[in-house]
């Protein structure tokens, strides 16, 4: 419901009416237009960037990966042929329990 004016209010109402008339000539800025972003394009770009980043990280990690041995191992096997009075040795990169011979083996053989 509109506010009712008394007789004394007409002067005030006239004041505001002339102010309104004056404001009709006033420049009003344009309504701000929202930029409509294409969400499909945006998602494609974001997904593409994420995939490229993951692929890059994977490739970098893969190239740097080396098999690191705990230690380099070379075993010298020393054999003594008592029958021919000769000594020979073998060099191997692998150790094997099969080739191991106790140092007191000759005692067992002689008895």
Residues in contact with other proteins by CB under 8 A are 1-3, 8-9, 11-13, 15-16, 18-20, 22-23, 26, 28-29, 31-32, 34
Smallest separation, CB 29 to other proteins (Å): 5
Q: Scan for tokens 């007789």, then name that residue.
A: 7
* DSSP-derived 3-state class of residue 89: strand
Q: Closer to other proteins at the Cβ: 34 or 65?
A: 34
Choice between 13 and 46, CB closer to other proteins: 13
Give min distance, CB of 53 to other proteins, in A.
30
CB of 67 to other proteins, least distance (A): 55
- Other residues' Cβ atoms within 10 Å of the Cβ of residue 77: 14
Instruction: Compute how many other C-beta atoms are within 10 angstroms of the C-beta atom of residue 75.
Output: 13
Q: How far is the CB of 37 from other proteins (least distance, A)?
A: 14
* Residue (10 or 106) nearer to other proteins, CB: 10
Closer by beta carbon to other proteins, 21 or else 74: 21
Residue 92 host element (H or E): strand 86-92
Q: Which is nearest to 79 in space by CA: 61, 96, 97, 99?
A: 99
| H or E segment to which residue 80 belongs | strand 75-81
């Amino acid at each position: 419901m509109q506010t009712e004016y008394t007789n004394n209010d007409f002067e005030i109402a006239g004041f505001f009416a002339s102010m309104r008339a004056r404001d009709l000539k006033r420049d009003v800025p344009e309504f701000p237009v929202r930029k409509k972003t294409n969400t499909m394009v945006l998602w494609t770009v974001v997904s593409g960037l994420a995939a490229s980043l993951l692929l890059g990280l994977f490739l970098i990690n893969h190239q740097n990966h080396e098999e690191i041995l705990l230690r380099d191992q070379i075993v010298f096997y020393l054999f003594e042929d008592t029958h021919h009075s000769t000594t020979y040795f073998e060099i191997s990169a692998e150790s094997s329990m099969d080739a191991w011979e106790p140092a007191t083996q000759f005692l067992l053989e002689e008895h």
